[in-house]
Structure 1
Amino acid sequence: MLYKDILSNGIRVVTEELPFVHSVSLGIWVGTGSRFEDKRIHGVSHFLEHMLFKGTKNRNAKQIAESLEAVGGQINAFTSKEHTCYYAKVLSDHFDLAADILADMFLNSLFSAEEMDKERNVILEEIKMYEDTPDELVHDVYSRTLWPQDPLGQSIIGTSKSVENISRDQLIAYYQSTYVPQNVVIAIAGKIQREVVLEKLEKLFSPLSGQFQPPSLNEPQAFSDASFVAKDIEQMHLCLGTPGLSSQHDNIYALSVLNNVLGGGISSRLFQEVREERGLTYTIYSYHSGYSNSGIFGVYAGTSLQNSQAVTEIILKQISDIKRNGITPQELENTKQHIKGTVLLSLENVSNRMNRLGKSEISFGRLITPEEIVDSVMKVSHEVVIETARQVFDFEKCAFAAVGPEKPAFHLSTLVEKIK
Structure 2
Amino acid sequence: MSRRVVHGYYKRRYLPQDMVFAAAGNLDHATVVRQIKKALAGSGWLEGDARPSGPRPSGLIKPGKPGARLIKRDSEQVNVVLGVPSINQSDDRRYAMNVLNAVLGGGMSSRLFQEVREKRGLAYSVYSYNQSFADAGAFGVYAGCPPKRFDDVIEICRQQLDQIKANGVTQDELDRNKGQVRGGMVLSLEDSGSRMSRIGRAELVYGEIKSVDELLRRIDAVTVKDVADLAAQVLDAPLSIAAVGPFDSVDQLRRAVS
- RMSD value over aligned CA atoms? 2.4
- Mapped to 1, the partners of 2:161 and 2:89 lie a distance apart of 21
2:25 counterpart (169, 187, 190): 190
Q: How does 1:23-172 map to 2 (within 5 A)?
A: 165-167=1-3, 169-172=4-7
Q: Using the aligned pairs only, state the percent identity.
A: 36
2:35 counterpart (195, 200, 218): 200
2:246 counterpart (400, 405, 408): 405
Q: Identify the residue that residue 163 of structure 2 maps to in structure 1.
A: 321
| CA 199–410 in structure 1, closer or farther in 2 if over 3 Å, else same | closer
Q: Identify the residue that residue 379 of structure 1 maps to in structure 2.
A: 221
Deviations 1:139-172 (Å, cap 9, x if unpaired)? xxxxxxxxxxxxxxxxxxxxxxxxxx312x3333
SS of structure 1 residue aligned to 2:143: strand
| CA 180–228 in structure 1, closer or farther in 2 if over 3 Å, else same | closer
* Matched-pair contact (CA < 8 Å) for 1:288–1:298: yes
Higher relative contact order (CA 8 A, sep 6+): 2
In the TM superposition, what is the alpha-carbon distance from 1:256 to its structure 2 partner? 1.0
Are positions 1:293 and 2:135 aligned together? yes
Amino acid at match of 1:356: R
Amino acid at match of 1:289: Q
Unaligned runs of 5+ in 2: none
- Mapped to 2, the partners of 1:399 and 1:411 lie a distance apart of 9
Give the TM-score taking structure 1 as reference length.
0.55
Amino acid at match of 2:221: K
SS of structure 2 residue aligned to 1:234: coil
* Matched-pair contact (CA < 8 Å) for 2:122–2:149: yes
Deviations 1:228-286 (Å, cap 9, x if unpaired)? 22101111211112001101112111111111111111111111111111010110010
In the TM superposition, what is the alpha-carbon distance from 1:411 to its structure 2 partner? 5.6
Deviations 1:109-136 (Å, cap 9, x if unpaired)? xxxxxxxxxxxxxxxxxxxxxxxxxxxx
SS of structure 2 residue aligned to 1:232: coil
Deviations 1:45-91 (Å, cap 9, x if unpaired)? xxxxxxxxxxxxxxxxxxxxxxxxxxxxxxxxxxxxxxxxxxxxxxx
| CA 412–371 in structure 1, closer or farther in 2 if over 3 Å, else same | farther
Runs of at least 4 residues of structure 1 off by over 4 A?
408-416
Q: Identify the residue that residue 259 of structure 1 maps to in structure 2.
A: 101
- Mapped to 1, the partners of 2:34 and 2:27 lie a distance apart of 12
Amino acid at match of 2:39: L
SS of structure 2 residue aligned to 1:250: coil
Larger radius of gyration: 1
- Mapped to 2, the partners of 1:241 and 1:360 lie a distance apart of 26
